[in-house]
Amino acid sequence: MTFTTTAPGKIILFGEHAVVYGKPAIAVPVNHVQAQAMLEQTNSESGFRIVAPDLKRSYLLSEMDSSEPLAAIVRDTLAYLNQPIPNACLTVSSTIPLGRGLGSGAAISTAIARVLTQYFDQQISSHQVSSLVFNIEKLYHGTPSGIDNSVVAFAQPVYFVKGQPIKMMDVAQSLTFVIGDTGIVSPTHKVVGDLRQRWQANPSPYEDHFNDIAVLVDQAWVGIEQGVLGIWELGTLMNKNQILLEKLEVSSPELGRLITAAREAGATGAKLSGAGWGGNMIALAPAQPEAITEISQALLKAGATNIIITELQVNAMKIE
Tell me which residues touch ligand PMV (CB under 6 A): 12, 16-17, 19-20, 101, 103, 141, 144-145, 147-148, 188, 192, 274-275
Smallest separation (angstroms) from ligand PMV to the CB of 141 = 6
**Minimum distance from residue 87 beta carbon to ligand PMV (Å):** 34
Q: Smallest gap, in angstroms, from Cβ of residue 17 to ligand PMV?
A: 5
Query: Considering beta carbons, is residue 19 or 175 the nearer one to ligand PMV?
Result: 19
CB 247 within 8 A of CB 209: yes
Residue 98 CB coordination number (10 Å): 12
Residues in the chain: 320
Query: Facing residues of 26 across strands?
Result: 14, 159
* CA-angle at 217, arms to 163 and 145, nearest 5°: 30
Q: Which residue's CB is nearer to ligand PMV, number 17 or number 263? A: 17
Q: From the CB of 275, what's the least distance to ligand PMV, in Å?
A: 4
CB-nearer residue toward ligand PMV: 97 or 144: 144
Nearest partner of 109 among 121, 96, 123, 122, judged by Cα: 96
Measured from the CB atom, is 117 or 241 closer to ligand PMV?
A: 241
* Angle between helices 231-247 and 253-264 in degrees, nearest 10: 160
Q: Which residues contact 48 (CB under 8 A, 6 or more apart)?
A: 60, 61, 62, 74, 85, 86, 87, 88, 89, 90
SS3 state at 151: helix
Nearer to ligand PMV, 17 or 114 (CB): 17
Enumerate residues 6+ apart whose C-beta is below 8 A from 203.
none
Query: Do 7 and 110 meet the contact criterion of CB atoms below 8 Å apart?
Result: yes
Instruction: Spell out a b/e string for 128-157, using b for 16 or more CB atoms within 10 Å of the CB, else e.
Output: bbbbbbbbbbebbbeebbbbbbbbbbbbbb
Nearer to ligand PMV, 191 or 299 (CB): 191
CB of 20 to ligand PMV, least distance (A): 5
Minimum Å gap between C-beta 27 and ligand PMV is: 8
Q: Whole-number minimum distance, CB 108 to ligand PMV, in Å?
A: 13
Residue placing its CB nearer to ligand PMV in the complex, 148 or 254? 148
Question: Cβ 68 to ligand PMV, closest distance in Å?
Answer: 19
Smaller CB distance to ligand PMV: residue 198 or 301?
A: 198
Say how far apart CA 66 and CA 72 lie, in whole Å: 4
